[in-house]
Amino acid sequence: MKRRQFLELTFLTSLTLASNPPFIYGRGKRETPLKVLILGLDGLDPNLVSRFIKKGSLPHFQRLISQGGFSVLGTSIPPQSPVAWANFITGMDPSGHGIFDFMHRDPSNYLPVFSGTLSEEPKKKISLGEWVLPLSRGQIKLLRQGKAFWQILEEHDIPSVISRMPSNYPPAQTKQRSLSGMGTPDIMGSYGIFNYYTTESGEINPDIGGGRIHQVYVIGHQVEASLPGPVNPFRRDRPEATLDFKVYLDPVYPVAKIVIGHEEFILKEKEWSGWRRVEFPLIPGKSVRGICQFYLKEIRPHFKLYISPVHIDPANPVLPICTPADYSRELVAHLGLFHTKGLPADTSALDNNVLNEAEFLHQDNGFLEENLAMLDFELQRFHSGLLFFYLSSTDQRQHMFWRFLDENHPAYDSQLARQFGQEIENIYIQMDQLIARIEKYLDKKTVLIIMSDHGFNPFIRGFNLNTWLFETGYHKLRNPWVQDKGSLFEYTDWSRTKAYGLGLNGLYINLKGRESQGIVNPGSEYEHLVRELANRLEAIVDPLTGKKPIYKAYITREIYKGPYLNQAPDIILGFNWGYRISWSSPLGKFPSEVLEFNRQKWSGDHMGAAELIPGILIANRKIVHPAPSLTDVTATIFDLFGLQIPLEMKGRPVLKIS
């Protein structure tokens, strides 16, 4: 894939793509003796569950565990959500489903690419002056390999509803109801870009991740600005489509009216708008619709307006987000508009001080409420088969609020800790209340499984893998005096580089025949280098703490044997408790220090060795397997429905059916 193609991402192709993949009506209809309800609570940590149960905060968890079972759940290597959930979806390890990280690299140019989705622009186009008209369709492909368990259930006529499953965008072809989750982009084709409009020049920072800050001016009690939209593929110069809007401010009162496209609404200071529809014009008769939320943070003395990333409109999806094609519309008809972007909580806005903790929580609580309403709706018609429902709030809150659990965390703030120190416990309590909420739907034939993909640990110190590779001579820069400048290996001398780090856990060898400028010969040279690197990485000691930042450097060829091993990093780093890859190493940067403190609000993480941060398994049936893992849960599903476990799957059933 060329750089340009990657840039325009998933979105562009959609404009010429049929709105949804074709499907055949007629999902699974069989009446099953058991019903299986699975709640996927991302990042729910077994240690914290135990701690809060002891404290008496989670009575419903406690009761459920006493009736059934509780176990840690072996996570994936690496324990990243897209990888872990793909293990669960397919019952296979990453070498079987091909997802090894949030991002992979393109060996032809060493640039990062999304691991789960490939977008291809239309192949045939004609240019008419400034305009480009596609003559064929673009494509969006799910890169996860292997059959999803609900596709196999479908073959046996067993109905299932799969809501917001990660690593499933675009959703796997099925007649069953499914809604894509983590990995679903915003309308820009990104993991989420917010927009923030401010008159305070001190807030202007062009170099923030996950958002854009715009300087605006109040003239005559009015603010005029524009909301950036997707790249316009119908124009030769491919500009971003934009939507102009006006904000009218009252001269005295803290109240304003926002007029954008067909929408017009009034907000008081510190009010959220709820979902609003926006439509970006591309060419006459063709536009892209999305939904977003507005938050009027301040009117005076400074005007500050936050606009959330623009999500795909579920009532009129421009990209394929569900199966069957009308499922999201059906949900909108019953529940109103809802978020569609994977991981909707705007952690970037909190990290960059655009939203504060209370505002972040307000927004994420809204997303959680939308999910719970959707779960209620599905539970009301859940009479047979399987229902899987995923929630991301557990993961996102732990990422952002872990700093308040530990006074020694570099981002700890005693004042904020007094106010928000309970937030992680609160989200666990909310999950406890969820168990009470769904209890009325559970009958004797319902098997309830609560699972998480990984646990959590603090992110105190960041490891700059690329800096370490540079300092140890495995990575060469053309001009080392600009070491800490540039990114995406801008100054790398590939003709002398043996290894590079990309993604959140991955180390790649610059292998001849695989990488476009590879120098390491396959065979013994490669084997020796990988072994040498793994040993040296595991031997690193943090001079400040005396701890080893890398608990385990997994040599991928030793732990995985599946058909997609060739896409894997050569070494997967399993970090020690409190450590993680640094902020800038994953995108090919070389900061000056090998180890650095993490002072960001994003303060909890899960990039550790799989042994250190397992997920959790709780069920209303006894757990008979002593050390279950994610793929065992998949096997359990087949066992509960009396089906043979497919040969390619690695797991064993873990629940006692009584």
Q: Compose the 353-392 pattern: x for residues touching another protein by CB under 8 A, - for all others.
A: ----------------------------------------
Burial class (CB in 10 A: 0-12, 13-18, 19+), 468: buried
Contact at 8 Å (CB) between 8 and 363?
no
Contact at 8 Å (CB) between 608 and 576?
yes
Q: Is 128 in the site for another protein (CB under 8 A)?
A: no
Look up tokens 């799910």; give the residue: 142
The region of 469-477, 484-492, 511-519, 553-561 touching another protein under the rule CB under 8 A is 484-492
Q: Which amino acid is at 549?
A: P
90 vs 600 by CB, closer to another protein: 600
Q: Is 236 in the site for another protein (CB under 8 A)?
A: no
253 vs 577 by CB, closer to another protein: 253
Smallest CA-to-CA distance from 305 within 457, 433, 203 is with 203
Q: Is 418 in the site for another protein (CB under 8 A)?
A: no
The region of 57-65, 139-147, 216-224, 627-635 touching another protein under the rule CB under 8 A is 216-224
Tokens coding 656: 């006692």
Q: Which of positions 307-346 make contact with another protein (CB under 8 A)?
A: 309, 343
Smallest CA-to-CA distance from 386 within 619, 644, 44, 640 is with 640
Q: Is 102 in the site for another protein (CB under 8 A)?
A: yes
46 vs 189 by CB, closer to another protein: 189
* Bond before 170 cis per omega within 30 degrees: yes
Q: Is 266 in the site for another protein (CB under 8 A)?
A: yes
Rounded CA separation 512/500 (Å)? 14
**Shortest distance, position 74 Cβ to another protein, whole Å:** 22
The region of 31-39, 47-55, 168-176, 264-272 touching another protein under the rule CB under 8 A is 264-272
Count CB-CB contacts under 10 A for residue 383: 9
- Bridge partners of 114, per DSSP, are 103
**Shortest distance, position 4 Cβ to another protein, whole Å:** 6
Q: Compose the 599-638 pattern: x for residues touching another protein by CB under 8 A, - for all others.
A: -x-x--x---------------------------------
Rounded CA separation 178/171 (Å)? 7
Range list of β-strands (E), 62-168: 69-73, 103-106, 111-114, 117-120, 125-128, 131-134, 139-142, 160-165
SS3 278: strand
Using CB under 8 A, which of 308, 328, 348, 457 touches another protein? Answer: 348
35 vs 105 by CB, closer to another protein: 105
Using CB under 8 A, which of 63, 362, 584, 593 touches another protein? Answer: 584
Contact at 8 Å (CB) between 369 and 322?
no
279 vs 432 by CB, closer to another protein: 279
Q: Is 487 in the site for another protein (CB under 8 A)?
A: yes
Q: Is 220 in the site for another protein (CB under 8 A)?
A: yes
Q: Is 22 in the site for another protein (CB under 8 A)?
A: no
Q: Is the dihedral of CA 39, 42, 46, 49 positive or negative?
A: negative
Smallest CA-to-CA distance from 346 within 218, 220, 207, 195 is with 195
Rounded CA separation 326/308 (Å)? 25
The region of 219-227, 517-525, 540-548, 563-571 touching another protein under the rule CB under 8 A is 219-227
- With contacts defined by CB under 8 A, how many residues of the chain interact with another protein? 51
Q: Is 265 in the site for another protein (CB under 8 A)?
A: yes
Q: Is 491 in the site for another protein (CB under 8 A)?
A: no
Q: Compose the 57-96 pattern: x for residues touching another protein by CB under 8 A, - for all others.
A: ----------------------------------------
Contacts (Cβ under 8 Å, ≥6 apart) of 199: 215, 216, 217, 218, 302, 303, 304
Rounded CA separation 11/425 (Å)? 38
Helix, strand, coil content of the chain in percent (nearest 5): 30, 30, 45
Q: Is 253 in the site for another protein (CB under 8 A)?
A: yes
Q: Compose the 172-201 pattern: x for residues touching another protein by CB under 8 A, - for all others.
A: --------------x-xxxxxx--------
Q: Is 1 in the site for another protein (CB under 8 A)?
A: no
Rounded CA separation 3/110 (Å)? 10
Q: Is 508 in the site for another protein (CB under 8 A)?
A: no
555 vs 587 by CB, closer to another protein: 587
Smallest CA-to-CA distance from 340 within 363, 310, 366 is with 310
Using CB under 8 A, which of 53, 417, 565, 587 touches another protein? Answer: 587
Residues that bind another protein (CB under 8 A): 3-4, 6-7, 9, 102-103, 111-112, 186, 188-193, 208-211, 220-222, 248, 250-251, 253, 255-257, 264-266, 268, 309, 343, 347-348, 351, 399, 487-488, 490, 504, 583-584, 586-587, 600, 602, 605
